[in-house]
Structure 1
Amino acid sequence: MTPGDRQRVCIIGAGASGMSAAYALSQHPDRFDVTVYDKEGVAGGMATSIALDADKYGAPYINDGVQGCSPAFANTMRMFRMLGFELTEVGMQISFGKGDDFWTNVFPTALTSEFQADIVKFGRVLKVIKRLEVMFTFIPVHAMLKMFRFSTDFGEKMVYPLVALFFGTGNQTPYISCAILERVFMDPSMKLFEFSEKSLLASIPTMLAFPKLHDCYQAWKDDIASRGNVTFKFNHEVSRVVSRTSKSMDGAVQIEYRVVGNGLETDPKLVHFDQIIMAIDADSCLKLLRSEATFFERRVLGNVKYLYDVTVTHNDLAYMKKYYEVQYNPSHNAPLSDKTPDKERRQAEEAFEFASKNFRPLYYTMQYPQDKSKIEMSFDLTHYQPQFRGEKPAGPIDPSDTSGHRHDNLPVPDVARDAQKDDHGQAGTSVRTGQDAQRTAEPPLERHVFQTIFLDRDGSSHLWTADEIDKDKKIHEKWWKQQSHRWQHYAGTVPWMMFINGKRNTHYAGAWSVLNMHELAVTSGFAAAYQLGADYPFKGDENCERLFKLYLALSHGTRMRKEDRNGLWA
C-alpha cells in the first residue's frame, strides 16, 4: 500500500459487531475503503424482526432473537439514539418455576422464605467472588455452590434459572464461570439488578425493550453507506479465506466468495484486501480460515462451544398456564407469622397487593422435573415489546428532540423518519381491548404472543415439551446457534484473544469473545476498527468508554491511544 492510499478492509458479518466496525471506519472516508459481506439479505445477524397479523395479535411485527437490554448498555443506546430510534422502559418482572418451585421478583413467595439462609449467604459469597475474581473465573457455578455448601435445591431452583435467563447460558449454566454471578449483580457495565437478602432480586429493575430492529439496522446501514467508503454486499457468502499474508500487490488478504440467494449460487470469486475483520462466530472463523488458521487460533477459537436451540413463537395460553405461573396466585405468598417484624410484614403485604393488580411477567423459566438443572425459557412478547401497546417502530422518540445524543447523525436516514411516524403505532388498535398496569391499551391475555426457547438440542431434546404446543397456535419457529459460557471459555478463550487479535492482518469481533450480549458485540466492533486506526465514535462519553476500555484491555491487550486518554493511567 502506497502512502496516501486508503486501507482496504473486509468485514465478514453484518450483525451488531460488523455494523459497529463498519460505522467506526465509515467516519474516515479518506483512510478506509470497506466492504461488508453477509450471506443474509439484510443486516442485523441475530437482531431480526418478523411480521405478525396485526388484526389477530395487536401488532404488525415482533423482534425475534434479541428483545432488549440493561440501561447500563450505553454504547447500544447511544448508537440507536443517534440513528433516530429510542428504547422503551419496561419493568422486568420474572416468573421462575411452577407450583411449589415458583418464585418471582415481584413479591416474596414461599420458596424465597424456604431459602432465606441460602440467599443471605449468597450475598456474602458474591463479595468474596468480587475480591477474588481471577481465581473464581476458572471455577464453574456447580463447584462454587458445593464449595460454599449451598443446598442443591437452591442452585437448581434459583441460581441456575437466574443466570441462564439473562446470559443465555441455557442448560450449560452449572458449568459456566461463577464470576458471571458477580457481574450480573455488581459490574456497572453489565449489572442487571440489585441483590436482596430477602428475595435474591431486589424489586423490579428497569429493562429497555428495543425498537423495531429490522428498521434500526436498515437505518444503520443507510447511515454508514451515506459516507461513500463502505459497500454492503448482502447475499454474498464468504466461503474461504485464501491468504492473509500474501505478497501480492493487490493486498495481503485474499478471500473467496459466492453470490447466493433465491436458490441461486454463482461460481466463487477471488478478491484482495489489506485487512480483515471477522465479525462472525468463532467456529465459522475456523471454517473460513481452514489451513490458514494458526495453531494458536485453532486452540483459542476452537475452545468456544456452541449449542443449538429452537424458539417457538406461539399464542398457546393453555401451554403457558400448564408450565408457568402466568397470573398472580395468592397461594404462593410467603407465609407471615406472629413473629414477623412489623416492617417486614408491611412490606410483604404491600408487595402482595401490588402483585394482585400488576403481576405481568416478561420472562419465564421452568425446570424439567426429570432433571431440575435443565430448564426451558419463555417470554411474553406482548408484555415485553412496546408495539403491542401502540408504540411506533422507532420507539418513544420525539423527532424534534436532539438531546441525549438523539439524531447526532443528522440528517436522520429515511427509514428512521418513516419509523418515527405516529400512525405506524395504530396497526392492531382494534385488538388492543385490554389494559396494562398503567391503563395503556394492550391485547387481552388470550391474544398474547409468547416465545418459548427449547435449549441444547444435543443434550436436552429428550426433555423438550415442544410437541405440546398447539400446532394451530404456532406463529414461527427458528433455530439458533448459541455460545456456551462454560468456565472453560474463560480459561481457554477470553484471556487469549489479545494474542490472536491483530495478527496476520486479522481482527476478531463478536460478543462470543467475552459474553453473549448485544452491548459487547457493539463494543467489539468498535474495538476492531479502533485497532485499525479509526476513532472511537463515542470518545469522551464516560458511560460508553467504560466498557470500551475494558474490552480493549481484555481482547486486544491495549489501552486507548495517548491522544484519547485523560491522564497517565486512563
Structure 2
Amino acid sequence: MASEIPRRRILIVGAGAAGMAAAFTFSQHPDKFEVRVYERSSQPGGMATSFPIDRTKYGADYINDGVQGASPVFHNTFAMFDKLGFKSSEVDMQVSFGRDAETEFWSNVFPSRVIDQYKKDIKRFGRVLKIIKVLEPIFALISVSTMLRMFGFSKDFGDVIVFPLVALFFGTGNQTPFISSAILERVFMDPNMRLFEYSPESFLASVPKMRAFPRLSYIYNTWKEFVESESRGSVKVITNREVIRIKRLSDAKNASDSVEVWSRATKGTNVDQEVVDPGEEEKEVFDDMILCVDADSALKILGDDAGWLERKILGNVKYLWDVTVTHSDQDYMEKYYRVAYDPSLESQVGRDSPEKQERFKFAKENFRPLYFIRSHPEDKKKIEMSFDLSVYQPQFDGESPFGPDGKPVIGPLLSEAPNAESSSKDVSTDKKRVYQTIFLDHAPESSKLWSKGDINQDEIILEKWWKQQSHRWQHYAGTVPWMGLINGRRHTYFAGAWTVLNMHEIAIVSGFGAAYQLGASYPFTNNPECKRLFALCLAANHMSRMRKDDRAGFWS
C-alpha cells in the first residue's frame, strides 16, 4: 500500500478579503492542506468592518464603516456572499459633486449649469476614451493629468469633473491626478469594472445600480466558521495573532518545512490600526506562506530575508493615511455639499427638451445622494468625500443584517440578529442621519486643507484611521506587471487588492489565485462571469493560465 502523502502546511497572514478567500479555497481540500490564518486584530474582514450604533437615535443598530458596497459586476464577491447565505441590497448610486451652483455642482441625477460650461470637453472625452482603449498598454503608463493636457482638455474640466469622478469610484483620493489613464477608461468601458454610462451631453447618462453590503461583521464571522467547518478542522482562522518576521529555508519547489515564522498573541488593534498589548514571540515552521497584507507590511515581515526583486516591486507601492469621521452633523453637510435638490442648479441649455424635463422632475422627487464630493478651493486637485449612510445602507430601512432573503449557512447568527420587521419599530421619527466624511492623506500639504475641525464634536460617532494604497501610474509600471516574478518564489505568495486595484473584488480573486497556484481548486469554475476576472488576475499576479481542466480555450 502506498504511503499517504502528507498535507502541506500553509500559513496565511491576514484574514481580510484576500486571506479569507484563500482559506475558503483550501477548505475544499481537507486531505491535501493544513492551513492556519493569523489575523492581528480581533475580527476577520480587514477593512470590511462593522460598528454598533444607537438604533433609537439613528435608525439602525450598526453601520458598515470601512466598505459600503460594490458594483453589480463584482461577481466573485457576490458568489461568495451567496455561498455564505448573505444577500446584497440594490441601491441607486446618486452622486452630488461640489456645492457652488456656478462653478462646482454637478450630478449624475440631472444636468446642471456647470455641465453646460464643459460641453466641448465632454464631447471630446468620449473620443479620447476610445483612443485610450485601443492604446491601453501605452496609456497605462501615462497619468490622468498628463493625458488631459495631451488632448487639450481645460484645467477646470479635470478639477471639477474628471478627478472627483475617478476618486469616487476607485477611492484614489488626492492621488487621482497621478493615476494611470487606463483606469479612467475602465470606469466607462471595462465589462468587469464599468459602472457609469458615458453621455456626450451630460457626461454621465444615468443613475447606475449599486449593491449595498449586508452586515460585514456577520459575513466574515460566518465565513470563518464556515471554512473551519467545511475543512473538517484542517483550516483554522486565528484572530489576535500577529506575524512578526519570517525566515525562508529552501528555494526547492516541493520542499517541506521551508518557512520559519515568528508570531505573537495580541489583544486586537485600536482605531489607529495599532496592535494592543502584544505577547511573547513563538516560532513555528510551515511549508508555504501567503501574505495577505499590504505591501509595506509584507516587506516588514520579510525583513532582511526579502530579496532584491521583492524589495523593488513591493517597495514601489505607495500608501497614504486617511481618517474617516462618522457623524450626524447636518449643518456640516449642508455647509459643504448639496444634500437637497434646488431648481437653481438646473442646466439652462436646452432645458425645455423632454429628456431634460424628465430628469429634472425625477430629481425634484427623488434626489437622495449616496456620495458627496467636493474640491478644496485652495487646491482643486485635492478633495474630500462623504457618504450618507442612512441612504446607502439598507439596515436604516429596516432590512435584515443578512440582506433580503439572506440566511447564513452557519446557524448561531440567526438568533443574534433583530427581525427585519421589528427592527425599526422603536426608532424615533426624528432620527438623525448618519454620514461618514473621509479626510484624505494626512501629509501636511493635504491635511492643512481639512475642515475636520468644523464637525460638531457632539455629533461624532466614530473616528478611525485607514492605510490606503495610491493608484499612481508608477504602480502600474513598477508593481502590477511584475508580481509574477515574485509570486511563488521561495514558498511565498502575495495577495490583496493592492496587487492590481483597490477593490474588494480584486482582493477576493487574488486570494483565490494564490491558493489555486498551490494546488487548490477555483471554487466558481462553472460561473463564466466569475471566471473571467479570475483568469485575468491569475495572469496579472502569477503570469499563469488556469489549469487545462478548468478552461474552455487557451486562456479560460
- The reply to whether TM is greater than 0.5 is yes
Is 1:452 the counterpart of 2:448 in the alignment? no
Paired position in structure 1 for 2:281: 268
Whether the aligned pair in 2 keeps the contact of 1:313 and 1:476 (CA below 8 Å) is yes
Alignment of 1:6-405 (within 5 A): 6-99=7-100, 100=102, 101-226=104-229, 227=231, 228-245=233-250, 251-261=257-267, 264-336=277-349, 345-397=353-405, 399=407
Whether the aligned pair in 2 keeps the contact of 1:39 and 1:237 (CA below 8 Å) is yes
Paired position in structure 1 for 2:451: 465
CA distance in 2, matches of 1:274, 1:383: 47
Paired position in structure 2 for 1:413: 410
Structure 2 counterpart of 1:457, which letter?
H
CA distance in 2, matches of 1:320, 1:422: 30
Q: Is the deviation greater in 230-239 or in 423-432?
A: 423-432
CA distance in 1, matches of 2:255, 2:520: 24
CA distance in 2, matches of 1:386, 1:328: 22
CA apart distance, 1:321: 0.2
CA distance in 1, matches of 2:414, 2:547: 36
CA distance in 1, matches of 2:57, 2:158: 40
Deviations 1:270-309 (A, max 9, x none): 0000000000000100000011100000000000000000
CA apart distance, 1:354: 0.9
CA apart distance, 1:565: 1.2
CA apart distance, 1:241: 1.1
Q: 1:14 to 1:333 in 2, by over 3 A?
A: same
Which of residues 539, 547, 551 is equivalent to 1:561? 547
CA apart distance, 1:266: 2.4
Q: Is the deviation greater in 326-335 or in 250-259?
A: 250-259
Q: 1:285 to 1:244 in 2, by over 3 A?
A: farther
Structure 2 counterpart of 1:59, which letter?
A
CA distance in 1, matches of 2:293, 2:190: 26
Paired position in structure 2 for 1:437: none
Q: 1:332 to 1:244 in 2, by over 3 A?
A: farther
CA apart distance, 1:425: 5.4
Is 1:505 the counterpart of 2:505 in the alignment? no
Structure 2 counterpart of 1:293, which letter?
A
Structure 2 counterpart of 1:388, which letter?
F
Q: Secondary structure at the match of 2:322?
A: strand
CA distance in 1, matches of 2:412, 2:146: 50
Q: Secondary structure at the match of 2:224?
A: helix
CA apart distance, 1:265: 3.0
Whether the aligned pair in 1 keeps the contact of 2:545 and 2:555 (CA below 8 Å) is no
Structure 2 counterpart of 1:162, which letter?
L
5+ long unaligned stretches in structure 1? 400-406, 434-442
Q: Secondary structure at the match of 2:31?
A: coil
Deviations 1:363-386 (A, max 9, x none): 000110001111000000000000
Q: 1:96 to 1:415 in 2, by over 3 A?
A: farther
Structure 2 counterpart of 1:452, which letter?
T
CA distance in 1, matches of 2:503, 2:422: 31
CA apart distance, 1:568: 3.7
Across the aligned residues of Structure 1 and Structure 2, the Cα RMSD in angstroms comes to 1.7
Is 1:431 the counterpart of 2:434 in the alignment? no
Whether the aligned pair in 2 keeps the contact of 1:309 and 1:456 (CA below 8 Å) is yes
Whether the aligned pair in 2 keeps the contact of 1:218 and 1:415 (CA below 8 Å) is no
Structure 2 counterpart of 1:470, which letter?
N
Whether the aligned pair in 2 keeps the contact of 1:83 and 1:416 (CA below 8 Å) is no
Whether the aligned pair in 1 keeps the contact of 2:86 and 2:406 (CA below 8 Å) is no
CA distance in 2, matches of 1:166, 1:17: 20
Deviations 1:241-261 (A, max 9, x none): 122528999701111001111
Structure 1 counterpart of 2:325, which letter?
V
Paired position in structure 1 for 2:273: none
Q: TM-score, normalised by structure 2?
A: 0.95
Q: Secondary structure at the match of 2:403?
A: coil
Paired position in structure 1 for 2:272: none
Q: Secondary structure at the match of 1:536?
A: coil
CA apart distance, 1:417: 3.6
CA apart distance, 1:318: 0.3
Whether the aligned pair in 2 keeps the contact of 1:14 and 1:43 (CA below 8 Å) is yes
Which of residues 476, 486, 489 is equivalent to 2:462? 476
5+ long unaligned stretches in structure 2? 269-275
Q: 1:104 to 1:330 in 2, by over 3 A?
A: same
Structure 2 counterpart of 1:292, which letter?
D
CA apart distance, 1:427: 3.1
Structure 2 counterpart of 1:366, which letter?
R
CA distance in 2, matches of 1:250, 1:28: 18
Q: Secondary structure at the match of 1:374?
A: strand
Structure 1 counterpart of 2:91, which letter?
V
CA apart distance, 1:429: 3.1
Whether the aligned pair in 1 keeps the contact of 2:75 and 2:530 (CA below 8 Å) is yes
CA distance in 2, matches of 1:107, 1:189: 26
Structure 2 counterpart of 1:115, which letter?
Y
Structure 2 counterpart of 1:476, which letter?
L
Deviations 1:203-250 (A, max 9, x none): 100000000000000000000000211112211110001225289997
CA apart distance, 1:82: 1.1
CA distance in 2, matches of 1:107, 1:295: 52
Structure 1 counterpart of 2:411, which letter?
D
Q: TM-score, normalised by structure 1?
A: 0.92
Deviations 1:85-121 (A, max 9, x none): 0000000000001112100000000011111111111
Whether the aligned pair in 1 keeps the contact of 2:248 and 2:490 (CA below 8 Å) is no
Q: Secondary structure at the match of 2:338?
A: coil
Q: Secondary structure at the match of 2:448?
A: helix
Is 1:496 the counterpart of 2:497 in the alignment? no
Structure 2 counterpart of 1:253, which letter?
V
CA distance in 2, matches of 1:546, 1:147: 33
Q: Percent identity?
A: 54
CA distance in 2, matches of 1:418, 1:71: 30
CA distance in 1, matches of 2:508, 2:415: 25
Q: 1:26 to 1:196 in 2, by over 3 A?
A: same
Whether the aligned pair in 1 keeps the contact of 2:116 and 2:349 (CA below 8 Å) is no
CA distance in 2, matches of 1:252, 1:563: 29
